[in-house]
Amino acid sequence: MPSRSRKGLVGGRRYAVAGAFAAALFLADQGTKYLVARDLWPGRAVEVLPRFFNLVLCPNTGGVFGLLPARPLVFMLLSLVAVALLGYLFTRLEGKTAASLAAAALLAGALGNLVDRFRFGYVVDFIDLHVGPWHWYVFNVADASITVGALSLFVLTFIDERRKQRRAKTSSAPPETPSDK
């Protein structure tokens, strides 16, 4: 009963590992949001690393990077659809450990932000990265999970396609004959 194939984790072991990874990310997201919401108020910045990293409570009623604010129902529905699609995607990744973990990160992030939308009507953002006076959008652990998961799936898909192309080229090449040497 091997739990690993040459391609990666399979069966129940894959679900357990990816599920534990998703749960850890989800709990980290919700735990950090709880602490920030408990100890900060909107607009108050706590400098963690001078000129680079602040904590600031920033309720986000919009989508990614605060786009389309004040549309909580739309984003709740989009999040539910995303969670369903990610669940389906996960079932299609048998034997692809890295892709399974990337999908688990996406799922954890989507669930983390969905829970916020149902609990508060907005997403709790609090990580403020900046270089001097130039600030990036405020985000949270769920957003980071979504970003890293999506980028990882993109890169892994690209690598997989390149491998398929190489295999197709080598399998369609005519066999060498003694006169080719």
Residue 172 within any structural domain of the chain = no
4 in any annotated domain: no
Is 171 a domain residue?
no
Q: Is residue 148 part of a domain?
A: yes
Q: Which domain holds residue 140?
A: 12-164
**Count of domains for the chain:** 1
96-to-8, 21, 105, 110, 126 alpha-carbon distances in Å: 6, 15, 14, 21, 33
Look at residue 177 and tell me if it is in a domain: no
Check if 128 is active-site: no
Residue 24, domain member (yes or no): yes
Per-residue pLDDT tens over the stretch 111-153: 999 999 999 989 999 999 999 889 989 999 999 999 999 999 9
The string of pLDDT tens digits covering residues 24-83 is 999 999 999 999 999 998 888 999 999 999 999 999 988 777 777 777 788 888 889 988
Whether 143 is catalytic is: yes
Catalytic pick from 29, 143, 160, 180? 143
Domain membership flag for residue 131: yes
Task: Tell me which of 29, 116, 125, 128 is the catalytic residue.
Answer: 125
Tokens standing for 143?
């957003």
Residue 178 falls inside a structural domain: no
φ/ψ of 57, rounded to 5, equals -75, 120
